[in-house]
Structure 1
Amino acid sequence: MFVTLCSSIYNELRLEDTLCDTVIRAGGGLDFKVHRLILCGCSSYFRVLFCIKPASQQQVYSFPGVSPNGMQLILDYAYTGSVTVTEDNVMELFEGAELFGIQDIVQSCYSLLLQKLCSRNCISIWKLAEQYNYTELRDKAFLYMLYHFEDIAGYSAEFLLLSGEQLADIIGRDELHVKQESAVFQAVLRWVNFAPEKHRDHMTILMSKVRLLLMPLDYLLDTETKVEQVKNNRQCLNMVIHTIKVRRESNTNRSQLRTRLPSHVLPAFGGIDNNHTTDKTELYDVRSDYWRTVFRSDKALPESSSCVYLNGSIYYIGGCENNSYLSSVQRFCLATKTWQEVGSMHKGRIVSALGLMAFFSQIGGYNSITYVSTVEVYDPLLKSWETASSMIHPRCNFGIAVLEDQLFVVGGVHKNGTSSVELYDGTIDSWQPVQDLEAPRFAVGCCVVERQPDTPEPQESHLHLVLTSN
């Protein structure tokens, strides 16, 4: 109560220009009369600044890089202890708060920028985070640019203000998401045409980043004869002519080209290759129907492990190495292409695992002595395992799938093949048996498919499990 009353009185004195002892000048020359003591209380920056020189020696302090509105909001916070961060003021407020070291405001702005990241503002957020070395915000904004490049290049005013070096870096990335490579070429033309005198000198380096071999031959021929920016640049024209020649004279296999990484891929990690575990990671691109090696580990990955995708990372769980059953969990970050060991199960085993919302579970398995029924749940934020209710029957090498929020385990091995099927209810942490398979099955593959409208037999659900096995 007392603190609130004091804040109210101090703010009234400021607004009445009473007892103010210094002036803060924002960008544009707008002055704010303030009390030094109040600003010292909210910012160590101001405390150091005001203690360097006595009040009699300097009355006005200029901050041309802080907008008048941003300064007004910061001073309001200094006197009242509160500020409203909005999409309209977040950028200027962030810069001012960062300059003055007011971490409460910086954190509020940071959270809002992450929440409101979109095609319209991702470039300015990326530049801001780069300037102040906020690596998480910078990386997320940059990935957003790569994943939404066509929208940004086609409609964003910020795109046109990129430097040539920045644009070359973006379009040179394998992770750039475009449906057709021609979209990259059109983006370059839009950027150059925005400021021809200033931008045309970058045309050659930008064209070298466009993957011309991925473009249709007809499109290349039109580019050679009709696009002025190419026709008038000898180096760019030679690139197009050379590409046309290569396309006409060779049977270039698409798998030999340096393509962009697609937005949806099927990864394959580890496994056995010529009786040895492999260190190779491959991605399958559905659009172009080919596999591509994208990463090699420092050492071969364990065999018989399980993989789970969760929150931009792939977790590699358990497995067998040198006749030892592992409890380790390794995380592969798709953005950085790096491995990190993040935790261990309570016991080593060959397991089946499945991602569920913000967690993943490892279920059953084999530990070199016996088949197990235990279940553990991993929380990536806490990097810890918690036990859940065990299955009714121990098993390994079974099928697993989620059907309408219900987890099913199907078949598997327990001494011999089993036909039992169990359902897990996470709301009460319990397993219950459901109808057995018609015959025992192991090495089962499960997936969930949508029932087609012309399915002859009516179903209670529009989804059902499909099983395959050896």
Structure 2
Amino acid sequence: MAYDYRANCWVNVTNNLERPRAYHGAAFLNGYVYSVGGFDRVEHFNSVRRFDLTTRTWNEVAPMHSRRCYVSVTVLNGFIYIYICGGFNGNECLQTAEYFNPETNQWTMISPMNSRRSGIGVIAYADHVFVGGFDGNNRLRTAEAYNPHSNTWNLVSSMLTPRSNFGIEVIDDRLFAVGGFNGFTTTFNVEYYDALTNEWYEIFSFPVMYGC
């Protein structure tokens, strides 16, 4: 389903010919919604589907180099890149990363991350791509950032809470990590990263009830 906020209604965009998939990545870019990788209980996908909001149709674009689920994607610099970092291929957590350029319909491998990461949070911030997640053994506090100009990953200050499968967003030039799984239980902890200080700061946890 897709929500049209202008019309305040939900639109059915299901393709009944397409196999269902879960644990995929999703990103919006230049009028298209991309569904990347995923799992259907049998197969781990490297395929990528693109939904055209104008025609309300799905089309397949070039597949990734690696099969991945529990994957996150992001868009950087308002350009065509959708970065795929880490994930799970059915056997192991992945260290590899790649990006997609819709103009050339090609995937390109970039330098691998310093750690294997699945259930990963990925976002573009301060002209870098930031990631966290699960390495197959432990939920990680470590975070690293990719510099697309030098094609290198560098460790940044570690998070205060280890976590995977968490929410991640940039608000007012700060990168927020929200909730997730810490290896034992789901967590309410919220923290933010400031690129100017290279430090994480804890903020109030989720309220038990909505309101102030």
Q: Distance in 2 between matches of 1:291 and 1:362?
A: 29
Q: Distance in 1 between matches of 2:169 and 2:196?
A: 17
Q: Distance in 2 between matches of 1:263 and 1:432?
A: 34
- Can you list the C-alpha shifts for 1:239-295, whole angstroms capped at 9, x where unaligned? xxxxxxxxxxxxxxxx9xxxxxx9421111111135211232111122222322233
The structure in which a higher percent of residues are strand is 2
Q: Distance in 1 between matches of 2:169 and 2:52?
A: 24
Residues 1:320 and 2:88 are matched in the alignment: yes
Q: Aligned residue for 2:181?
A: 413
Cα 1:329–1:393 shift into 2, 3 Å = same
Which of these residues, 45, 55, 80, is aligned with residue 288 of structure 1?
55
- CA RMSD between the two structures: 2.1
CA contact (8 A) 1:378 1:384 kept: yes
Aligned pairs for 1:139-288 (under 5 A) are 263-288=30-55
Q: Aligned residue for 1:366?
A: 134
Which of these residues, 380, 383, 396, is aligned with residue 151 of structure 2?
383
CA contact (8 A) 1:271 1:277 kept: yes
Q: Aligned residue for 2:70?
A: 304
Gaps of at least 5 residues in structure 1 are 1-254, 256-261, 440-456, 460-470
Cα 1:275–1:372 shift into 2, 3 Å = same
How many Å apart are 1:325 and its aligned residue? 1.5
Q: Distance in 2 between matches of 1:289 and 1:434?
A: 40
Gaps of at least 5 residues in structure 2 are 1-14, 16-28
Q: Distance in 2 between matches of 1:278 and 1:349?
A: 17
Q: Distance in 2 between matches of 1:382 and 1:264?
A: 29
Tell me which stretches of 4 or more aligned residues in structure 1 moved more than 4 Å.
none
CA contact (8 A) 1:277 1:300 kept: no
- For the residue of structure 1 that corresponds to 2:140, the secondary structure is strand
CA contact (8 A) 2:95 2:117 kept: yes
Tell me the amino acid that sits aligned with residue 103 of structure 2.
A
Larger Rg: 1
- Can you list the C-alpha shifts for 1:368-418, whole angstroms capped at 9, x where unaligned? 111111110100110001111111110111111111212111111111011
Q: Distance in 1 between matches of 2:66 and 2:40?
A: 11
CA contact (8 A) 1:316 1:331 kept: yes
How many Å apart are 1:317 and its aligned residue? 0.4
CA contact (8 A) 2:44 2:89 kept: no
Q: Distance in 1 between matches of 2:66 and 2:114?
A: 23
Q: Give the length in aligned residue pairs.
A: 179
CA contact (8 A) 2:125 2:175 kept: no
- For the residue of structure 1 that corresponds to 2:141, the secondary structure is strand
Q: Distance in 1 between matches of 2:151 and 2:170?
A: 24
- Can you list the C-alpha shifts for 1:19-72, whole angstroms capped at 9, x where unaligned? xxxxxxxxxxxxxxxxxxxxxxxxxxxxxxxxxxxxxxxxxxxxxxxxxxxxxx
Q: Aligned residue for 1:422?
A: 191
Q: TM-score, normalised by structure 1?
A: 0.36
Q: Aligned residue for 1:336?
A: 104
The structure in which a higher percent of residues are helix is 1
Q: Distance in 1 between matches of 2:204 and 2:164?
A: 19
Tell me the amino acid that sits aligned with residue 421 of structure 1.
V
Cα 1:424–1:263 shift into 2, 3 Å = closer
Q: Distance in 1 between matches of 2:107 and 2:61?
A: 13
Q: Distance in 2 between matches of 1:378 and 1:279?
A: 22
- For the residue of structure 2 that corresponds to 1:321, the secondary structure is coil
How many Å apart are 1:296 and its aligned residue? 3.5
- Can you list the C-alpha shifts for 1:310-355, whole angstroms capped at 9, x where unaligned? 2322211011124211111112222111122110111111121101
Structure with greater contact order relative to length (CA < 8 Å, sep ≥ 6): 2
Q: Distance in 2 between matches of 1:411 and 1:296?
A: 31
Q: Distance in 2 between matches of 1:430 and 1:316?
A: 25
